[in-house]
């Protein structure tokens, strides 16, 4: 391994060790995201509420709807008949979320559900505009100066006369306009000088809508803080007795990233280790981008001049038509090979030579005998067609050499 690379690695390990030591005693920052997830134990999750809801809404059957949309759930419970439709279920639809992200089709189905003598309890910071328009309600969402020492309390003193100090509540959202002839105010937020409505009961045909603007009251943080759980109990005391259909779809941590780096980035130590690795790799690439030696030029191999020379001489003999001379040279080349490779005496080409070459080379004896016959015939100056003799002798020699 290159010495400079070892130095880079040592520096990275040293820096990484310093970061680990510095962050070992560092407290993990609190996650204040308002997820309102029943699986989250962070301050703004609903984990505790999910575990305690049966104790708050005593003697009431609670069914969690977590896999299908509101429309799909209610529509599956609807039974049409010849006069007017009806639902197989009866009770209260419950939803606690940061905002009213309910599609218009589901809102329409919810109105139809309530009109059949059921109820809907919605605790959200904002509501779907179609719901507000249908109930003739206006929600104030304009920015204004936060109310100092904001508190929330119940309108009915018989339910509770206590005012709860929720320092972190959002006082910007409140019901700015309601139909006082039909709507019942159930709760307020503000202080001694000014107060705004944050909890109402609105009739709709044969049922009621309960709209609450402080879902933070049901989070882990407030259910564990002093007496704030009492406020949650007071709000839910208005939920009519009967079956509860708690809509939790989208609040079961479905939004967790599928990235393979999710866990690494969620842990401060691993996150810094990952960033340090990326920075180290970038530094390593920058330092090694420049070549450490000059480019070695590519040299073409020298041409085989012997082969070119042989081809030139062969073409010369062929063009001259001197077949007899070519035959002599091929015979000389063949016998030289036999002397060098098999240490044979080539002075006399007879049966003894044929037998020895057969045993030493492993070539077919008839092929050797034919070649010896052609060589001896050529030496006796027996001439037929020289070109034909050249071809026959060349083929015979190739059989032995190959």
CATH of the domain at 102: 3.40.50
Asked if residue 359 is part of any domain, the answer here is yes
> How many domains does the chain divide into?
2
User: What is the tens place of the pLDDT at every residue in 185-205?
Assistant: 999 998 777 889 999 999 999
- Asked if 223 and 150 sit in the same domain, the reply is yes
Q: What is the chain's mean pLDDT, rounded?
A: 84
Name the range with the highest mean pLDDT among 114-118, 295-299, 347-351: 114-118
Asked if residue 205 is part of any domain, the answer here is yes
- Asked if 311 and 203 sit in the same domain, the reply is no
By percentage, how much of the chain surpasses pLDDT 90? 38
- Asked if 208 and 80 sit in the same domain, the reply is yes
Asked if residue 23 is part of any domain, the answer here is no
**Per-residue pLDDT at 111 exceeds 60:** yes
Asked if residue 35 is part of any domain, the answer here is no
Q: Are 134 and 111 in contact (CB under 8 A)?
A: yes
Q: Give CA–CA dist 345/335, Å, rounded.
A: 9
Point out which residues pair with 197 in neighbouring strands. 175, 188
- Among candidate residues 232, 247, 262, the one where a domain is terminated: 247
Asked if residue 99 is part of any domain, the answer here is yes
pLDDT bin (cut points 50, 70, 90) of residue 86 is: confident
- Among candidate residues 247, 269, 289, the one where a domain is terminated: 247
Q: What is the pTM of this model?
A: 0.60
User: What is the tens place of the pLDDT at every residue in 20-46?
Assistant: 676 666 677 788 888 898 988 899 999
- Asked if 323 and 238 sit in the same domain, the reply is no
φ, ψ of residue 161 in degrees (nearest 5) = -100, 0
- Asked if 220 and 326 sit in the same domain, the reply is no
Q: Which pair of tokens denotes residue 276?
A: 């340090």
Q: Are 51 and 231 in contact (CB under 8 A)?
A: no
- Asked if 197 and 338 sit in the same domain, the reply is no
Asked if residue 8 is part of any domain, the answer here is no
**Cα dihedral value 23, 266, 44, 141, nearest 10:** 110
- Asked if 168 and 309 sit in the same domain, the reply is no
- Among candidate residues 227, 247, 267, the one where a domain is terminated: 247
Q: What is the pLDDT of residue 254?
A: 47
Asked if residue 208 is part of any domain, the answer here is yes
- Asked if 71 and 206 sit in the same domain, the reply is yes
- Asked if 343 and 207 sit in the same domain, the reply is no
pLDDT bin (cut points 50, 70, 90) of residue 11 is: confident
- Asked if 225 and 317 sit in the same domain, the reply is no
Asked if residue 187 is part of any domain, the answer here is yes
- Asked if 77 and 198 sit in the same domain, the reply is yes
Domain interval for residue 370: 305-401
pLDDT bin (cut points 50, 70, 90) of residue 113 is: very high
- Asked if 228 and 373 sit in the same domain, the reply is no
């Amino acid at each position: 391994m290159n010495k400079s690379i070892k130095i880079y690695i040592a520096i990275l390990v040293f820096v990484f060790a310093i970061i680990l030591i510095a962050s070992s005693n560092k407290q993990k920052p609190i996650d204040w995201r308002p997820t309102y997830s029943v699986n989250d134990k962070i301050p703004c999750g609903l984990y505790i509420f999910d575990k305690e809801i049966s104790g708050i809404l005593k003697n009431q059957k609670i069914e969690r709807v977590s896999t299908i949309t509101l429309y799909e759930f209610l529509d599956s419970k609807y039974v049409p008949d010849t006069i007017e439709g009806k639902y197989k279920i009866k009770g209260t639809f419950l939803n606690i979320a940061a905002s009213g992200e309910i599609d218009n089709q589901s809102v329409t189905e919810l109105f139809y559900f309530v009109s059949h003598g059921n109820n809907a309890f919605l605790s959200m910071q904002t509501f779907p505009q179609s719901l507000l328009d249908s109930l003739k309600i206006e929600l104030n969402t304009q920015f204004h100066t936060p109310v100092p020492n904001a508190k929330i309390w119940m309108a009915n003193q018989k339910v509770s006369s206590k005012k709860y100090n929720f320092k972190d509540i959002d006082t910007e959202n409140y019901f700015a306009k309601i139909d006082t002839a039909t709507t019942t105010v159930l709760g307020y937020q503000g202080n001694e000088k000014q107060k705004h409505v944050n909890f109402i009961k609105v009739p709709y045909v044969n049922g009621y809508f309960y709209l609450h603007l402080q879902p933070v009251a049901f989070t882990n943080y407030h259910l564990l803080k002093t007496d704030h759980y009492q406020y949650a109990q007071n709000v839910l005391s208005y939920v009519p007795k009967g079956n509860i259909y708690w809509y939790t779809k989208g609040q079961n941590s479905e939004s967790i990233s599928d990235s393979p780096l999710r866990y690494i980035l969620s842990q401060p130590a691993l996150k810094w280790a990952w960033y340090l690795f990326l920075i180290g790799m970038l530094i390593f690439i920058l330092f090694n981008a420049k070549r450490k030696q000059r480019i070695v030029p590519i040299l073409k191999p020298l041409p085989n001049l012997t082969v070119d020379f042989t081809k030139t001489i062969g073409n010369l003999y062929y063009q001259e038509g001197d077949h007899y001379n070519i035959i002599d040279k091929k015979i000389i080349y063949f016998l030289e090979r036999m002397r060098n490779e098999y240490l044979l005496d080539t002075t006399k080409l007879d049966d003894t030579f044929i037998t020895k070459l057969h045993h030493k080379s492993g070539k077919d004896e008839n092929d050797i005998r034919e070649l010896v016959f052609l060589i001896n015939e050529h030496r006796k100056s027996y001439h037929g067609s020289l070109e034909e003799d050249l071809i026959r002798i060349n083929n015979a020699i190739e059989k032995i050499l190959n």
